[in-house]
Amino acid sequence: MTLLDWLFVVGYLVFSFGIALYFYQRAGEDTSEFFLSGRAMPWWLAGTSMVATTFAVDTPLLVTEMVAQNGIAGNWLWWNAGFGSMLTVFFFARLWRRSGVMTDVEFVEFRYSGEVAAWLRGLKAIFFGLLMNILIIGWVSLAMETVIGRLFPDLTLFGQSAFMILGREISAALVVVAGLILMVSAYALLSGLWGVMVTDVFQFVVAMGGTIALAFFVLDMPEIGGIQGLHDQLPDETFHLLPTIGGAAEGAATFSLSALAFAAYAGVQWWSSWYPGAEPGGGGYIAQRMMSAKDEPNALFATLWYTIAHFCLRPWPWIIVALAALVLYPDLNEPRAGFVLVMKDVLPAGMLGLLFAAFLAAFMSTVSTQLNWGVSYLVNDFWRRFVQPDADEKHYVLVSRVLTFGVALLSLVVTLFLDTIAEAWGLLLSSSAGLGLVLILRWYWWRINAWSEMVATIAPILLTVSALILNAFGIQVPGLQAEFPLNLYSVVGFTTVLWLAATYLTRPTDPDTLDAFYRKVHPGGPGWTPVAKRHPDVEADRGLGRLALDWLVGVVLVYSTLFGAGYLILGWTVWGLACVTVAVLAAAFLWRDLQRDEISLFGAVEEREETA
């Protein structure tokens, strides 16, 4: 790193803190400003913030590892989530904005009634806002340690390369990461969501600009020789965009799936399992962005822009670098480190600092969002609900800032004791399998109650833990102990039977709660017929069949754009132009349909808000 490199890094940090200080006063007005930016966010800002948040520091490294192991098609392990993300665009984005809640955990008591609803809200606030949150921060912190450790292999602090902290030997790189987390917590507690989201846009531009520049630089190397050089030096199957379905793959670098495994990914996972940033029906920080939009159309278009950018455009610079890393470092023991080694060995002075700033941006964007989102649960759904319900807004803002710093400190402690998160992805998806269907149906079926969601939340966790315990004792239960994703069939099946039983064996949600929900959100479809009969004056959403068609066309838009960009970049022009043509036609259809049916899609927004 030269002086010019460090100037880029320092300039980025100064600008980020400048944004935080600029929004300090506004964020301190009330919790709506601190957590939802006053519900005044335009679609492009909210959508870009979603993309920036999911551009974690570990994602380029993970994509590099996927490509090294299974070729480009290995990305279908996360590309399949495009189905669910597009479902959120048309069926849930407008409903989240219309609901008026501050968090998706608050939604629990807005939709359900009784003590079990209060328990569910409190448990979800602690589980997601604290436990899950600090694990995610620990996850990305380990990835950032890898980046710093590879870029600065001789890094020392105060003359030491490692430190003993809480009985653990900690690398100097991880100590630097700890300092970065405290730095992020400082600007997150200063600026609230306004500062986080505006900084997200800046960080996204820096991160994407840096990775695109890296792709161009590595392709220009004599050892690579451009796209054609990659084709010449790597097996053809490495460039397949679709996995091999059934039977053995042609080569070691081809992603091969059995028909049942492919059906699990493409037909079960995306709607059945909860995962941060890919919750069925929307949720977490994605829901937070939708609820911060200034109206329903802005919430819909923010989620649409996020889906296209997240799945179609953002991965390709990473994939190109990952392919180049296979050529430059064919025998690398840790494939994900190939991305960082390309940075270190390829970039000239100045550009290395820019890309290091890009990784800082990716890291800080994710951590700041996790802190703001997680603390919104702890303050709004635990502290305000159960501890101090009658305080003023200044009190809650102060608690929010204190907890932001406290959660950051706690995440540091957890990070120190994390060695690896191997298989955590599959375990997390397995332990939430079946919950997704309840998260979807609670919007469109009145009979779903708090017990439905409670059982659907707990049952897959117990099933997954039971499978692990039975494995340890050598006891086999067919289906339940299958490897991910084949275990989804049994876990989703058992969980669905259990939550349906709980639904019909317990009392329905109180009619007054259902009536208030229906009058505020006015969801459409036959699932609300008994409630709709009590409120003939409420105009429910119409055209669910048209929304289903828009969803299908949206899925075509996402994957034709994804394939079109890939084919053009990889030099298959005819296929690329064909896919781009399909994408343009799909986009034109959606635009026309949304404009023509604006009333039925979005409702008479101003009139309904006045009525509510």
Query: Using CA atoms, how far apart are residues 311 and 327, in angstroms rounded to an integer?
Result: 25
Query: Using CA atoms, how far apart are residues 383 and 397, in angstroms rounded to an integer?
Result: 12
Q: Which residue has the higher pLDDT, 552 or 465?
A: 552
Helices 573-596, 544-569: inter-axial angle, 10-degree rounding: 150
Q: Which residue has the higher pLDDT, 328 or 247?
A: 328
* Cβ pair 151, 356 in contact under 8 A: yes
Q: Which residue has the higher pLDDT, 368 or 443?
A: 443
Q: Is the dihedral of CA 180, 182, 183, 185 positive or negative?
A: positive
Instruction: Find the range with the poorest average confidence among 61-65, 305-309, 513-517.
Output: 61-65
Query: Using CA atoms, how far apart are residues 112 and 117, in angstroms rounded to an integer?
Result: 6
* Cβ pair 503, 495 in contact under 8 A: no
* Cβ pair 36, 202 in contact under 8 A: no
Residue identified by tokens 């394939």 is 563
Q: Is the pLDDT of residue 497 over 70?
A: yes
pLDDT of residue 422: 43
First to last CA, the chain: 58
Q: Is the dihedral of CA 7, 12, 18, 21 positive or negative?
A: negative
Q: Is the pLDDT of residue 420 over 60?
A: no
Q: How many domains does the chain have?
A: 1
255 pLDDT tier (thresholds 50, 70, 90): low
> Quick one: tokens of 364?
């800080």
> Quick one: tokens of 237?
């199957």
Query: Using CA atoms, how far apart are residues 258 and 249, in angstroms rounded to an integer?
Result: 10
* Cβ pair 227, 316 in contact under 8 A: no
pLDDT of residue 480: 64
pLDDT of residue 15: 83
Rounded to an integer, the average pLDDT of 73-94 is: 90
Question: What integer best gives the mean pLDDT of the chain?
Answer: 85
pLDDT of residue 28: 66
Q: Which residue has the higher pLDDT, 515 or 604?
A: 515
**How far from chain centre, in Å, is Cα 218?**
29
* Cβ pair 73, 255 in contact under 8 A: yes
Answer yes or no: is 384 within a domain. Answer: no
Per cent of the chain over pLDDT 90 is 36
Answer yes or no: is 454 within a domain. Answer: yes
**How far from chain centre, in Å, is Cα 90?**
18
**Closest by CA position to 210, among listed 1, 15, 60:** 60
Residue 435: domain span: 422-509
If one counts every other C-beta atom within 10 angstroms of the C-beta of residue 587, the result is 18
User: If DSSP codes are grouped into helix, strand and coil, which group holds residue 563?
Assistant: helix
Q: pTM, whole model, 2 decimals?
A: 0.84
Answer yes or no: is 492 within a domain. Answer: yes
pLDDT tens digits, 343-381: 888 888 878 888 888 788 778 878 888 888 889 899 999
**How far from chain centre, in Å, is Cα 363?**
14
Residue type, 400: S
pLDDT of residue 608: 43
pLDDT tens digits, 458-491: 998 888 888 778 777 777 766 666 677 788 888 8
pLDDT of residue 247: 54
pLDDT tens digits, 102-131: 888 999 999 999 999 999 999 989 988 888
pLDDT of residue 29: 67
Answer yes or no: is 546 within a domain. Answer: no
Burial label, 138 (beta-carbon count in 10 A; 0-12, 13-18, 19+): buried
Q: Is the pLDDT of residue 610 over 50?
A: no
Q: Is the pLDDT of residue 604 over 50?
A: no
Answer yes or no: is 463 within a domain. Answer: yes
Answer yes or no: is 283 within a domain. Answer: no
Q: Is the pLDDT of residue 275 over 80?
A: no
Q: What are phi and psi of 240, to 5 degrees?
A: -65, 135
Answer yes or no: is 402 within a domain. Answer: no
If one counts every other C-beta atom within 10 angstroms of the C-beta of residue 588, the result is 12
Greatest mean pLDDT range, 74-78, 153-157, 316-320: 316-320
- Virtual torsion, Cα 204, 206, 212, 216, nearest 10 deg: 180
* Cβ pair 537, 555 in contact under 8 A: no
**How far from chain centre, in Å, is Cα 171?**
29
Answer yes or no: is 263 within a domain. Answer: no
Greatest mean pLDDT range, 169-178, 318-327, 536-545: 318-327
